[in-house]
A and B are shown apart, each in its own frame.
Chain A
Amino acid sequence: MARRSLLWIVSLAALIFAYMLVARAISRPDIVPPAEDIAGAFAALVGRGQQSPASDMPGMDMPAHHHHSSDQVDTLLQEGVTLQASLAVTTARVLFGLIVGLPLGMLMGLLMGWSRRADDYLHPIYVLVRSVPPLSLITYIMLWLGHSEAHRLIPIVYAVAVTAVIPTYHGVRDVAGKYVVAARSLGARGRLLLAKVVLPAAAPAMLGGLRYSVAIAWMTAVGAEMLMAENGMGNLLVGGGMWSSRLQMRSDPAVIIVGILVLAGAGWAMDLAARAWSARLTRWAR
Chain B
Amino acid sequence: MHIPDGFIAPQMYLPAYGVAAGLWAYGARRLRAALREETIPRLAVLTAFSFVVMMVMVPLPGGTSAHASGIALLAIVFGVWTAFVSVSLVLLLQALLFGAGGVTALALNALAMGLVGSVAARYAYLLLRRIHQGFGLVAAGWLSINASALLLALALGVQPAIAHGEDGQPLFFPFGLSVTLPAVMIPHALVGIGEGALTLLMFRLLSQRGWVAAR
Q: Decide if A and B are genuine partners.
A: no
Instruction: Give me the interface of A with B, judged by CB distance under 8 Å.
Output: none
